[in-house]
């Protein structure tokens, strides 16, 4: 009889142990089985635990009921749920998922952003937004706010100068529009080091004016970048002598999308009254006509010193230019180009 009683007691203890041990095992040792190697889960700043549970069910990771049950047992709440971009990998322990959400242990911390060849702030925002929490509309709205523009010392025409195209490691995904702009302001300050400021002082124009010239040069010569320092010197010569820049890209800028796809401008295109039109208004335009690259800005800072004030496309389809110091030299170069254009039936 004693043996039977002992056996019954052991069975009861084992059953209780199993009842207690299974939930403990599930929480601390059970893993997730996915149909793929990994799934990316975005947790936005305004999302709740219920929102996240719905995402887990939609992504076929686990049911909402199971998610909320584990969240309760592992202490994950609306209050300690950290926003971010998380990676749920096949075979990960369930506890690590929930502890990760609690502690903000994002699997994807070294978030990179890249923006190049941007014509506008909207273009830039569209390239940045997929990699951070802030969407493009939030970025643009923040940048268009008067308080933001004044905070960083720009105006609506020059605000685009703050952004220097490149690839940057911005940190974690949950970056707001304000944090992104502050990050770029830091990069802008780093770029404008003492060496560049010294070169700016020699040119005796503002950083935004340098960026504006750089944007014009990049629009004028987008292929053969070796000409950038020469063109920079030419435009600076015109500015110093009070000569109109007469840059086609500035005239085209005034037309917006109306001249989209037009390669050769006509006389009528140079006549639109707009403050950016350097065929009408002297000096450097109010702001950049596109987001200039660091290389183009450096070309202005390191502009070649020469006496050129004219440039004309070479009659050989090379994309290069003939430069001239006098009007007579320029007229000769222009005559060669027009003869070539007629021969090649260029329009």
Mean pLDDT for the chain? 89
Spatial separation of the C-alpha atoms in residues 109 and 107, rounded to whole Å: 6
Mean pLDDT of 272-282: 96
Q: Quick one: pLDDT at residue 85?
A: 83
Mean pLDDT of 322-335: 96
DSSP structural state of residue 1: -
Does this model's pTM top 0.85? My answer is no
Q: Please list, in sequence order, all residues whose beta carbon lies within 8 angstroms of the beta carbon of residue 57, skipping any fewer than 6 positions away.
A: 63, 64, 67
Q: Quick one: pLDDT at residue 18?
A: 44
Spatial separation of the C-alpha atoms in residues 28 and 89, rounded to whole Å: 16
Spatial separation of the C-alpha atoms in residues 244 and 63, rounded to whole Å: 69
Spatial separation of the C-alpha atoms in residues 161 and 206, rounded to whole Å: 11
Mean pLDDT of 104-132: 86
DSSP element (H, E) containing 132: none
Confidence grade of residue 4 (pLDDT, cut at 50, 70, 90): low
Q: Are 27 and 95 in contact (CB under 8 A)?
A: yes
Q: Are 226 and 217 in contact (CB under 8 A)?
A: no
Confidence grade of residue 16 (pLDDT, cut at 50, 70, 90): very low
Spatial separation of the C-alpha atoms in residues 300 and 214, rounded to whole Å: 6
Q: Quick one: pLDDT at residue 97?
A: 86
Mean pLDDT of 189-211: 98
Spatial separation of the C-alpha atoms in residues 166 and 218, rounded to whole Å: 15
Q: Quick one: pLDDT at residue 6?
A: 52
pLDDT tens-digit map of 137-163: 999 999 999 999 999 999 999 999 999
Q: Are 300 and 210 in contact (CB under 8 A)?
A: yes
Percent of the chain at pLDDT > 90 equals: 64
Question: Is the per-residue pLDDT at 133 higher than 50?
Answer: yes
Identify the CA nearest to 63 among candidates 106, 84, 32: 32
pLDDT tens-digit map of 87-100: 888 888 888 888 88
Q: Domains plus CATH for the chain?
A: 27-103 (3.30.1490), 111-191 (no CATH), 194-306 (no CATH)
Mean pLDDT of 243-266: 88
């Amino acid at each position: 009889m004693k043996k039977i009683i002992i056996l019954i007691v052991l069975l009861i203890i084992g059953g209780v142990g199993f009842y207690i041990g299974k939930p403990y095992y599930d929480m601390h040792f059970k893993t997730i089985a996915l149909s793929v190697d990994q799934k990316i889960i975005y947790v936005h700043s305004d999302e709740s635990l219920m929102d996240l549970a719905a995402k887990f069910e939609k992504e076929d990771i686990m049911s909402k009921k199971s998610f909320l049950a584990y969240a309760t047992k592992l202490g994950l709440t609306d209050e300690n749920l950290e926003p971010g971009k998380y990676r749920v990998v096949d075979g990960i322990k369930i506890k690590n998922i929930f502890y990760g959400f609690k502690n903000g242990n994002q699997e994807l911390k070294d978030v990179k952003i890249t923006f190049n060849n941007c014509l506008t702030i909207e273009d830039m925002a569209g390239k940045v937004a997929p990699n951070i929490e802030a969407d493009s509309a939030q970025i643009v709205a923040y940048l268009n706010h008067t308080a933001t523009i004044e905070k960083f010392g720009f105006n609506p025409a020059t605000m685009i100068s703050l952004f220097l195209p490149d690839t940057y490691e911005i940190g974690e995904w949950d970056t707001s529009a304000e944090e992104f702009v502050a990050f770029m302001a830091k990069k802008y300050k780093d770029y404008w080091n003492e060496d560049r400021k010294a070169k700016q002082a020699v040119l005796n124009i503002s950083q935004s004016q340098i960026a504006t010239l750089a944007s014009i040069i990049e629009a004028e010569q987008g292929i053969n970048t070796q000409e950038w320092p020469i063109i920079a010197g030419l435009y600076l010569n015109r500015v110093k002598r009070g000569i109109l820049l007469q840059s086609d890209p500035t005239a085209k800028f005034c037309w917006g999308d109306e001249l989209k796809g037009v390669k050769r401008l006509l006389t009528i295109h140079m006549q639109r009254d707009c403050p950016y039109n350097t065929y009408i208004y002297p000096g450097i335009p109010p702001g950049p006509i596109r987001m200039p690259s660091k290389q183009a800005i450096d070309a202005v800072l390191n502009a070649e010193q020469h006496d050129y004030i004219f440039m004309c496309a070479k009659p050989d389809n090379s994309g290069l230019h003939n430069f001239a110091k006098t009007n007579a030299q320029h007229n000769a170069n222009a005559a060669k180009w027009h003869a070539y254009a007629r021969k090649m039936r260029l329009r």
